[in-house]
Amino acid sequence: MPLSTHVWETPLRVRYAETDAMGIAHHSAYVVWLEAGRVDWMRSIGLSYADLERAGYSLPVVELRVRYVAPSRFDDELVVRTGLSELRSRSARFTYEIVTAEPHPRQLANATTQHICMRAGAVARMPDSLRAAVERTSAGQSAG
C-alpha cells in the first residue's frame, strides 16, 4: 500500500473557551485540533469526511498519543501539520505536529492517532475512495 507523504497545514487560533485557569490552552483542546487537521487533510486530497459518513463509514479513534512540548495561549496562531503515516486494509494512522504560525515555527506538540474503519456497526475495509485518493496523491508526489 503506497503511503502518502503529503502533509497538510491547517491554521487555527486558540479560542478563549479553549484556555484554562493556568492561562494556557487546555490539553484536551489539542485533541480537537488534531481532528480538525485530519478532516482538512482528507479534504486536501479530495475527500470529504462528511461524505464518507453519509456513505456509512466512520473512522473512530482507537488510540491517541500526544506529547505537549510547549504551551500555547489565547489568540495564539497555530498550525496543525497532518500526515497519513500508515494505511492498512481496515485501519490507518495519522501523525501530527502542532507548531506556531511564525516564519520560524516552534513545535508545541506532536501526536499520533490510530483509527479503524467501521461500517454498519462492524469493522470494515477502508472505502475505495480513500485508497484511491491516497494513491493519486502519492503518485503525484513520486512523479513530482
* Alpha-carbon span 12 to 137, nearest angstrom: 24
By beta-carbon proximity to a copy of itself, the closer residue of 19 and 138 is 19
> Site residues (CB under 8 A) for a copy of itself?
13, 15-17, 19-24, 26-28, 31-32, 35-36, 39, 48-50, 53, 58, 60-68, 71, 73-75
Q: Closest approach of Cβ 28 to a copy of itself, in Å?
A: 4
By beta-carbon proximity to a copy of itself, the closer residue of 3 and 66 is 66
Q: Closest approach of Cβ 2 to a copy of itself, in Å?
A: 27
Q: Closest approach of Cβ 40 to a copy of itself, in Å?
A: 9
Catalytic residue at 75? no
H helix runs in the chain, sequence order: 27-44, 49-54, 128-143
Catalytic choice (20, 40, 75, 128): 20
* Alpha-carbon span 107 to 64, nearest angstrom: 18
The residue whose grid cell reads 492498512 is 88
By beta-carbon proximity to a copy of itself, the closer residue of 33 and 84 is 33
Q: For strands 107-116 and 61-68, give the pairing.
A: antiparallel
* Alpha-carbon span 112 to 67, nearest angstrom: 9
- Let me know: does 3 contact 87? Beta carbons within 8 Å: yes
**Which amino acids are annotated catalytic?**
20
